[in-house]
Amino acid sequence: MENCKINEGIQYKKVEEYEIDILLIIEAIILKNQRLVFATVAEKAGVTNLVIKRNPQLRTYILQKIKYYKETQLIDHKIDRAVASLLKKNKALTFISLIDSCNFDTKTVYQSQFLKDKIRKVLSENKPT
């Protein structure tokens, strides 16, 4: 009996609590410009193998959120590069010029509220005074 582990002190959170922790940790990792990988997110959120065995949907949740945040980072990076390029070439900074410079499909841009908002935000930030 000496070799048996006592699991009395282990307490598991609800799935919703893990999800909130996961989102906060992903945002913190992005703010620190660290590498966004499953192992880091799971470790910092306290999602162990036992927790994943009890709640297998957490693995899918983490992977989906990582994919979403990586895609938004990619879009942000593309738009920032396009703005820098257009400003360097002294070209007009317009909605259409950003779409063309980023090689976005116009139909996709007009259907995506995130893309429209991001482009509008960048245009307002770089408005000539």
In a domain, 5, yes or no: no
Those residues whose C-beta lies under 8 Å from the C-beta of residue 79, and which sit 6 or more positions away, are 98, 102, 118, 119, 122
In a domain, 8, yes or no: no
In a domain, 51, yes or no: yes
Q: What is the mean pLDDT of residues 69-89?
A: 92
What tens digit of pLDDT does each residue of 4-59 get?
454 555 566 788 889 999 999 999 999 998 899 999 999 999 888 888 899 899 99
In a domain, 105, yes or no: yes
In a domain, 45, yes or no: yes
Treating both helix axes as pointing N-terminal to C-terminal, what angle do 15-31 and 38-45 enclose, rounded to 10 degrees? 120
Give the per-residue pLDDT at 1. Answer: 45
On the CB side of 90, CA atoms within 13 Å amount to: 0
Give the per-residue pLDDT at 63. Answer: 95
In a domain, 1, yes or no: no
Q: State the total domains in the chain.
A: 1
In a domain, 37, yes or no: yes
Question: What is the domain extent for residue 88?
Answer: 15-125
Structure tokens at 111: 């259907």
Give me the percent of the chain exceeding a pLDDT of 70: 89
In a domain, 60, yes or no: yes
- Taken in order 72, 78, 84, 86, is the CA torsion positive or negative? negative
